[in-house]
Structure 1
């Protein structure tokens, strides 16, 4: 599915775009006026971690669950743990930061470094990929599946060269053979967000009208 056919969260729609109209994630660096989608910017990633901001849209993430897109190896490990009735513990650090549920559902479908099983992403500038989750070839010798996963919270460490994340307390597991399978849930999530925003606005308007009537 082409990215322009995927419904876009409002916050993602406010991001800068490249020449194709593709929204640029919050952790993506720019060089000579062009976004470098294959890279992760250390400073931007650190800011998102420290300020609890979504790595896709850059918006604030309230306390509570966060989401990320995982590749086939971690998806398989989660599925095995759930099938065995064991809690899943994410012990391996990753450079892939967390985000809102809608943003990660969206990113799983349109971001080539999350949606494609053989994609790679590297560190800022000329750093080579390493053995961490974000830099490993997704899907190599393990099948092409992945998942959008929710966690109760996250931990992070900012080093001189990279930002590492670890995720705690599995709360949602949505595996996929193709990320396009998330389209119905993305639409439902956006509809829920629209309904909540409308209800909040109506409640605020009612309260303001009541205050003026006193």
Structure 2
């Protein structure tokens, strides 16, 4: 499906686009030439989205309530099994480097991101993720591994928490309280639901901030400011307790 054929949430349509016409997610870092590196999740950008509760795709604020992710087959099957067993607080216990986003934005990402759209998709570039080196060609995870027809899902969670490790410059997310699990074989299976959701959607009241657009230095600087502010608050809280 080409960018022109796909249903697009308005906040995503307002993002910068690459030469092919695809919108560039807010968490996608730019290299020294300003070219987006789609295979990598920018740590500074992820930290900004985590602290300011912004959608990792469109960069606009997420309202209180569930947050969403696109997950691979193995995690989908584990969550589905837990839910079927009556575990209403099913959670993702393994840390993920992928921050959450709006429901509409994740429905869109499910069929437009090459690494999410197909269960046997493979990375087009080398990447370092949560301390593991993922080389070009690394598979996301296929449903054929378990013999099922599950390719992945768009999952909603009641809560998320995150941690930042300065030494490795990594942001890790944990999600809890499964609220929705829209299972698909291919990401394109989510298109009808996105069309329905967009028909009832309110227009966005904010746009993606400049520090999550094309200026990588602005993203890095804003993340640094947020970290310094958090450290200062922590020190002040410690001094008050003392």
Q: Give unmatched runs, 5+ long, in structure 2.
A: 206-242
TM-score (norm 1): 0.82
The question of 1:185 aligning with 2:185 is answered: no
TM-score (norm 2): 0.73
Alignment of 1:23-172 (within 5 A): 23-31=23-31, 32-87=33-88, 88-117=90-119, 118-120=121-123, 128-129=128-129, 137-140=139-142, 141-142=145-146, 145-160=151-166, 161-172=169-180
Distance 1:171 1:28 in 2: 27
Distance 1:129 1:120 in 2: 12
| Deviation digits for residues 118-163 of structure 1 (CA, Å, limit 9, x no counterpart) | 33488xxx7534577x997322434661000011121011112211
Alignment RMSD (CA, Å): 2.5
Distance 1:71 1:14 in 2: 28
Q: Give unmatched runs, 5+ long, in structure 1.
A: 201-214
Q: CA contact under 8 A between 1:121 and 1:129: conserved in structure 2?
A: no
Distance 2:189 2:96 in 1: 25
Aligned pair in 2 of structure 1 residues 131, 42: CA closer, same or farther (>3 Å)? closer
SS at match of 2:161: strand
What is the count of residue pairs matched by the alignment? 193
The structure with higher relative contact order (CA 8 Å, sep 6+) is: 2
Distance 1:193 1:105 in 2: 13
1:173 matched residue in structure 2: 181
Instruction: Report the Cα offset of residue 27 of structure 1.
Output: 0.5
